[in-house]
Amino acid sequence: TRGGYSYLDSHGLVQNVNYVSDDVNGFRVAASNLPLGRVTPQEDEPAVAHEKAKAVAALHQAAVLEAAEAAVVHANNVVPEPVHLQAPSGPGAVAHPPAYVAEVHSTPAPVLV
């Protein structure tokens, strides 16, 4: 499959796109609006670099202080002692109302001869 199209972009420039697709190489595009490559990052101004360094140092110092506080063991004077409790046993003091029981009547089954 081969194809192509052109369009007018937002800056008023004509952009051309051509594409090819096959079983060997897949889908490929050649266009005038594709990015040219990797943009290298711009270096920070000296004042910005200084403030970044101060912020990183402050974060590092805060992490060190937090780790130091977490490492401190606070002693207490609580001594564990076993607790001996005896659960009450025997009949309970709560009287429950009797459950309803229907009378049962029995009748002999008929005998088949």
Instruction: State whether residue 42 is helix, strand or coil.
Output: coil
Is residue 47 pLDDT above 70, yes or no?
yes
Residue 19 lies in a domain: yes
pLDDT at 3: 92
pLDDT digits (tens, 9 = 90+) for 12-28: 888 899 999 988 888 99
Q: Give the separation between CA 30 and CA 39, rounded to whole angstroms.
A: 20
pTM of the model: 0.30
Number of structural domains (the chain) is 1
| Percent helix, strand and coil across the chain, each to the nearest 5 | 25, 20, 60
Host domain of residue 7:
1-34
**Confidence bin at 90 (pLDDT 50/70/90):** low
Average pLDDT over residues 42-61: 91
Residue 25 lies in a domain: yes
Query: 61 vs 86, which has greater pLDDT?
Result: 61
